[in-house]
Amino acid sequence: MLASVAQSPKISIIPQPVEVKEGNGTFVVNASTKIFLSKEDASIKKVAASLNGEISAAAGFALNIAVGSRIEKNAIYLQLLPTPDAKLGDEGYRLVSNVNEVTISANKPAGLFYGVQTLLQLLPNEIESKQVVKNKKWTIPVVSIMDNPRFAWRGLMLDVSRHFFTKDEVKIFIDDMARYKYNRMHFHLTDDQGWRIEIKSLPKLTEVGAWNVKKTGRFNFFTPPADDEPRNYGGFYTQDDIKELIAYAKDRFVEIMPEIDIPGHSMAAVASYPELTCTPGTYKVNSGEQFMNWYDGGFSAMIDNTLCPANEKVYTFLDKVFGEISALFPFEYIHMGGDECAKNFWEINPQIKELMQREKLKDMHEVQSYFVGRVNKIIKSKGKKMMGWDEILEGGLVEGAAVMSWRGMKGGIEAVKLGHEVVMTPNSHVYLDYMQTDGAIEPPVYASLRLKKVYELEPVPEGVNPKMIKGTQGNIWSEQLFTNRHLQYMVWPRAFAVSEVAWSPKTTRNWNDFIGRVEDHFDRFNYANRKFAPSIYDPVVNAKKNEKNTLFVDFDSEINGLDIHYSFDNSFPDSYYPKYTGKSIEVPVDAAPMKLISYRNGKPIGRMMTITIEELKKRAGKNKVNTNEE
């Protein structure tokens, strides 16, 4: 007979804590376990209630919550420290468990909340279930954890303009954020496809601007709507909805930053109030049909979608908008957008020319800078600070503005040198609407971003004062996101990587260790019925040609231990088909579309991929394969 050895459950926490010391044995949560609070405090009670709610949903029993000292075994203690621990700051915590009890201590309620999120991740994966899991032992490993975040700004941006997400769907998004210790939700509320927030003094913004024509297919390739097609697709949040979301987020220690994207991206506003444009005409909220020309090195608008910097009505309009926004949102910043403003209509407008002459503005960048300066004064007059995308640097950055650097790191570096605070959110690493794997099996977007690339982000460039980098965030633009399920698919697991970059020490990050934890959390997501992308199992496909114009393919993978099997005869490969050995594969002259799939330990784990020979030739381009491999 083999001796039975008690083992502690595997510890798999995202984001990785600062210090983890594992012990032996487990603490068992059962119907007799109690939650004790160190003091009578409404915030601590909410944290305890959230923990109790998770346990009750999955285990089928609720724990008794009481205020009390450390007098009982079989207890979970949540305590605010009477003397602050300098290592923990406002959001850090200590979690210590033994076979009799679990103690989470922190300086502030936020730290207790994050400690509880870690505690939930120490429980079996079934804790994520919304249905009672029977005959399960709810164990917590004996462990000592000290943890605090690297950055104060740990954000995700949600675009609800291109496609509207309901209040309840936004709450789910906030729940998922909080589980992984995010604390900033950037709320992209306005764009060309919809104005999503009630402004009571400007009712047409939601009467007209919140609605377009429902289209199904691929955004930016839709046919233009007919005049008689119903404009009933979209929606908006009332001010009461916004208050409810802010309170909901606050209970989860998430601050919401609103964005009103101006002067470009303003078709919904212009459709509602046409007098705000430089270009008189009839305007309608965009439904996803093309109205911008994008080309190497720039872009232009086919229809003017901007607010007019030379029109005083615009600033009266914005004073009303930011007045009501400021009264609603307690967060210190308001984001004014400022990105991708097409200026080709400005260039031919007599009002703009007159403005340039009067204000001594040299070019269109300075025209936009003039506009940004006026907006900054309005926002400051409401008691708020302004933030904008890195285009607000062009033409001169206004005093006191913070910058979100999205076109790589360059804008952020420049802003820091000018003395401005920065949130690093480069599209090269954190644009979560990009394809996650090969375009052969992903909904098509103009760029790809694999999980490993996200994990490689370092928000503090060399030579930059780290105190000026507020943090980082992932951005989720919703042009191609038609449902909440697809939103989840695009966000996870890449948001795991962003959370670890934002929270964990740079020195502890390890890709192979991270991937192991990601796979454990896939299991948690299955119990929670959250959708995620299994893209880490899909091969990376590269094509090359030699000097004889012979086509070759190579495969790679983000994770170790995958076997890649392929075919060129239109059949579906399995583990009995040829396996990639690391040597370039010559594509047969008359090959049918290539099919490939990844296996691990003899079982399929990746998705079946099909790539046409024409696509492989396109990818090959001018690449040359090493002739020694031929």
**Angle, alpha carbons 553-559-564 (nearest 5°):** 40
Q: Position 325: which residue type?
A: I
Half-sphere exposure of 35 (CA within 13 A, CB side): 22
Strands of 163-216, DSSP E: 184-188, 190-191, 194-195, 211-212
Residues 6+ apart with CB under 8 A from 42: none
Candidates 91, 159, 191, 192; catalytic one: 191
As a whole number of angstroms, the distance between CA 209 and CA 317 comes to 15
Alpha-carbon distances of 25 from 10, 117, 301, 406, 447, rounded to whole Å: 12, 21, 64, 47, 47
As a whole number of angstroms, the distance between CA 115 and CA 161 comes to 34
Candidates 163, 186, 265, 420; catalytic one: 265
As a whole number of angstroms, the distance between CA 436 and CA 494 comes to 9
As a whole number of angstroms, the distance between CA 210 and CA 74 comes to 53
Find out whether 436 and 448 touch, Cβ atoms under 8 Å. yes
**Angle, alpha carbons 461-465-469 (nearest 5°):** 70
As a whole number of angstroms, the distance between CA 142 and CA 8 comes to 7
Q: Tokens at residue 212, please?
A: 């377009």
Backbone angles phi, psi at 488, to 5 degrees: -60, -40
As a whole number of angstroms, the distance between CA 412 and CA 404 comes to 7
Q: Which of 453, 425, 611, 610 is nearest to 536 (CA)?
A: 453
Active site residue 340: yes
As a whole number of angstroms, the distance between CA 56 and CA 530 comes to 19
Q: Which of 579, 578, 586, 584 is nearest to 554 (CA)?
A: 584
Active site residue 191: yes
Backbone angles phi, psi at 327, to 5 degrees: -70, -25
**Angle, alpha carbons 183-189-192 (nearest 5°):** 145
As a whole number of angstroms, the distance between CA 176 and CA 182 comes to 9
Residues pairing with 475 in the sheet: 157, 431
Find out whether 413 and 464 touch, Cβ atoms under 8 Å. yes
Q: What is the DSSP letter of 426?
A: -
Active site residue 261: no
Residues with active-site annotation: 191, 265, 340
